[in-house]
Structure 1
Amino acid sequence: MTDPAAFIAGLPKAELHVHIEGTLEPELMVALARRNNVALPYADVDAVRAAYSFGNLQDFLDLYYQGMNVLQQEQDYYDLAMAYLRRAAEQNVLHAEIFFDPQGHTDRGIPFRTVIDGLWAAMKDAERSYGLTTSLILSFLRHLDEAAAERTLDEAMPWRERFIGVGLDSSEKGHPPSKFRRVFARARSLGLKAVAHAGEEGPPGYVREALDLLQVQRIDHGNRALEDDALVARLAQEQMPLTVCPLSNLRLCVVPDMTQHPLRRMLQAGLVATVNSDDPAYFGGYMTENFAAVQQALGLTRDEIVTLAGNSFRAAFLDEAAKQRHLAALAAYAAAAI
C-alpha cells in the first residue's frame, strides 16, 4: 500500500465502540477539576498522563471511575462529548455510536438529565458543525447487579428517544452476560438494540451467552471467541459484527504485542471485524491511530483496511440508505487513492 498512513487518515469510517467517559483527556480532566473544585491526586497534567498506565482491565477501571468525578455539570458533559466529536470528525469518522455509563454518574448523585442533556446538546451541535451522525448506547455496569440495571433503565425512560440501544461493560471476569438476561429482554421489548462486551478477558462461553441469552446484535471485543472453532464458524455464518479495539487490547494486555493481534485472523475466518478506539484518552489513540497501529504491526493491505472500514458501516445501526451512502463514499475514496 502506497503511504498507508495518508490512506488511513482520509479513510471514511464509523466508530461503533467508544466510551464517552474514556475520551477524557488529562488536560480536560484537570480543567474540569478546577472548574468544579474537585481534588485530584495528581499535581498536574503530566502527572495525570503518567497515571494512565495499567496492567489489566481492573487497574484501568479504577482510574477510569476516579476520573469521572470531575464530571459534575451539564457543561462538563457537553465539553467532554464535543472534544471527542471534534477529533472524530477530523479523522473522517462519518458516524459514531457512543457508549455512556449513567450508573457511573447517577451513583455519585449526578442527575440523569444532567448527563444526557449535556451529551445530547454536543451531539446535535457536532452534527450541524461537522456533518457526522451520532447515536447513544446506554451501557449497564456489569459489576453491579441486575436490579441496579433495571432501575437505570427505568430512570432513562423519559429520554428513550435519545438512545438507540443498551450495552454491557465494566469488569468482565465473574460477571457473565447471563446475569443481565431479564433487563436485556425488557430493553429489546422496548425496541432497543442490544450489544455487549464479551470475550475480552472473559471466556468464549461469555460470547455464547451474549448471543443466546442477551440476543445481541454486535459483540464488543470478542477476541477470545477465536479459542473456540465452532463459535468462530457460528459468528462467521451469522455475520455477527465484532467491535475490536487494537490499542485497548495492547494496553490492557489482552495481547502481549500488536504483532500478535488477532484482527487479520478474524478477517481470514470471515468475521465481520471492525476497528474502534474504546477509551482513546487512556489507551493512546483514536480511530486513525488504531487503524495505523494494527496496519503497521500486521502489514494489513489496502483491501483489508477498506474491508474493516466497510464492516463498520455495515454493522452500524443505520438505515440501509445511510449505509449504502457511506459505502459508496468509501468505494469512491478507495478508487481515487493511488
Structure 2
Amino acid sequence: MIEFIKRLPKAELHLHIEGSLEPELMFRLAKKNNVTIPYESVEELRAAYDFTNLQSFLDIYYAGAKVLITQDDFYDLTWEYVLKCVENNIVHTEIFFDPQTHTERGIEFATVINGIKQALADAEKQYGITSAIIMCFLRHLSQEEAFATFEQALEFKDDIIGVGLDSAELDNPPSKFTEVFKAAKDKGFKLVAHAGEEADYSYIYEALDLLDIERIDHGVQSINSPELMQRLKDEQIPLTVCPNSNIELKVFDSYDEHNIKELLDYGLNVSVNSDDPAYFKGYMNQNFINLYENIDLSEADVIELVKNSFRSAFISDELKATYLAQVDAAV
C-alpha cells in the first residue's frame, strides 16, 4: 500500500511555501544574510518543533521567515519544495505565500513574488509540474492592512490566482475580512480561507456566507454540525485537510482520532495536504502513509482523496481530465 501511495500522481492545494523552509536552508540563509536565529544547530531547531497549539508553531514560523531576504532566497525556498514535489509525485501544486510576513520586514512585494514565480516556472519547464500562487492575508492583522497588501498585489494580478486567509484563527473570524474579500472577488481572484481548524464550525459558515469562498482550508470542525456536513456534501465544497498538521498542533490528540475518514465516508470533498511540512514532520506521501498506518484507510479511499485534490484544483476541466486519467493509469 505504501508503494501504491507513492506511485499515484497527486495535487497539493494547501501548502505554505514559508512552511517548507527546512532547518538546513534556514541556517544557510541566516549565515548568508547575517540574520541571527535563536538556535545553535539544525538539531536544536528541529527539537523545538514540539508544538502545543497553532500559536506556538507560528512563533517559530515567523522567526524562521526572517532569513528570507532576497529574490534568490525565495527562489531557493520554492525550488527545494519543487524537489519535494518530484519526490512525492506531486504533479500540480497551488501554494500559499504570506506577503505581509515579508513586507512588514521591509522586503519588497516584488522580491517575494518574483522569486517564487521563477522557481515555479522552472519547475514546469524541467519537471512538467503545473502550479498556481495564492496570496494569504494574515488574520491577526487588521482588514486595513490586508487592503494595503491587496493594493500591492494588483500589480501582480497575472501571477496570483487567488487570495486566502491564514495565521492565528482563534478570535480572528472570517467576518473581520468581509470587505477585502469582496474587493478580491470583484477583481476576479479565486477565494479560499482557513476555517474550522482550531476555531469552531461557525468560522466555516462565516467563510462560506460572508467571504463567499470556494475552498475551505482545514474544515475538520465541520463534523460537529450535521447541517453543515450536509451542506458541504450537497455543494461539494472542497476541504483541504492537513493530517500531520492537525496532529502536531493538537487539533487531534492522535492519528487514530483524526476524522478525515469519517468526512470522506459521509461524501465530503476532502483531500490530503501537507500544510507546513518542514515543521510538521512530513510532506504529502508521509501524510498519506501516516493515515494508512493509523486509521482504516483503504486503497479506494486513497484513490478518492487523490482524485478529490485534482477535482478541487483551480485548473481547466481539460487539465483535470488529463490528471485524473493519469491517476487511473497509475492504479
TM-score normalised by the chain length of structure 2: 0.99
> What amino acid sits opposite 2:193 in the alignment?
A
User: How far is 1:191 from its partner?
Assistant: 0.6
Q: Pick from 254, 257, 262: which aligns with 2:259? A: 262
User: How far is 1:86 from its partner?
Assistant: 1.0
Residue aligning to 1:19: 16
Residue aligning to 2:167: 170
Residue aligning to 2:297: 300
1: CA distance, partners of 2:22 / 2:49: 10
Within 5 A, what are the aligned runs for 1:1-338? 4-334=1-331
Aligned pair count reads 331
> What amino acid sits opposite 2:106 in the alignment?
G
1: CA distance, partners of 2:296 / 2:330: 21
> What amino acid sits opposite 2:127 in the alignment?
Y
> What amino acid sits opposite 2:42 in the alignment?
V
List 4+ stretches of structure 1 deviating above 4 A.
none
User: How far is 1:296 from its partner?
Assistant: 1.2
User: How far is 1:145 from its partner?
Assistant: 0.5
> What amino acid sits opposite 2:154 in the alignment?
M
Alignment partner of 2:279: what SS?
A: helix
User: How far is 1:73 from its partner?
Assistant: 0.6
Alignment partner of 1:97: what SS?
A: strand
Alignment partner of 1:181: what SS?
A: helix
2: CA distance, partners of 1:90 / 1:284: 15
> What amino acid sits opposite 1:247 in the alignment?
N
User: What is the CA deviation profile of residues 116-168 of structure 1, one whole-angstrom value per residue up to 9, with x for unaligned ones?
Assistant: 11101101011111111010000000000000000001011111100100000
1: CA distance, partners of 2:148 / 2:38: 32
- 1:236–1:271: 8 Å Cα contact kept in structure 2? yes
User: How far is 1:47 from its partner?
Assistant: 1.1
2: CA distance, partners of 1:246 / 1:150: 32
2: CA distance, partners of 1:35 / 1:44: 15
> What amino acid sits opposite 1:211 in the alignment?
L
2: CA distance, partners of 1:246 / 1:190: 33
2: CA distance, partners of 1:131 / 1:53: 36
2: CA distance, partners of 1:94 / 1:132: 5
Identical-pair percentage: 50
RMSD (CA atoms):
0.6
- 1:86–1:130: 8 Å Cα contact kept in structure 2? no
2: CA distance, partners of 1:112 / 1:29: 20
User: How far is 1:224 from its partner?
Assistant: 0.4
* Structure 1 stretches lacking a partner, 5+ long: none
User: How far is 1:299 from its partner?
Assistant: 2.5
User: What is the CA deviation profile of residues 91-112 of structure 1, one whole-angstrom value per residue up to 9, with x for unaligned ones?
Assistant: 1101000000000000000000
2: CA distance, partners of 1:185 / 1:226: 28
TM-score normalised by the chain length of structure 1: 0.97
* Structure 2 stretches lacking a partner, 5+ long: none
User: How far is 1:202 from its partner?
Assistant: 0.8
- 1:137–1:163: 8 Å Cα contact kept in structure 2? yes
> What amino acid sits opposite 1:256 in the alignment?
D
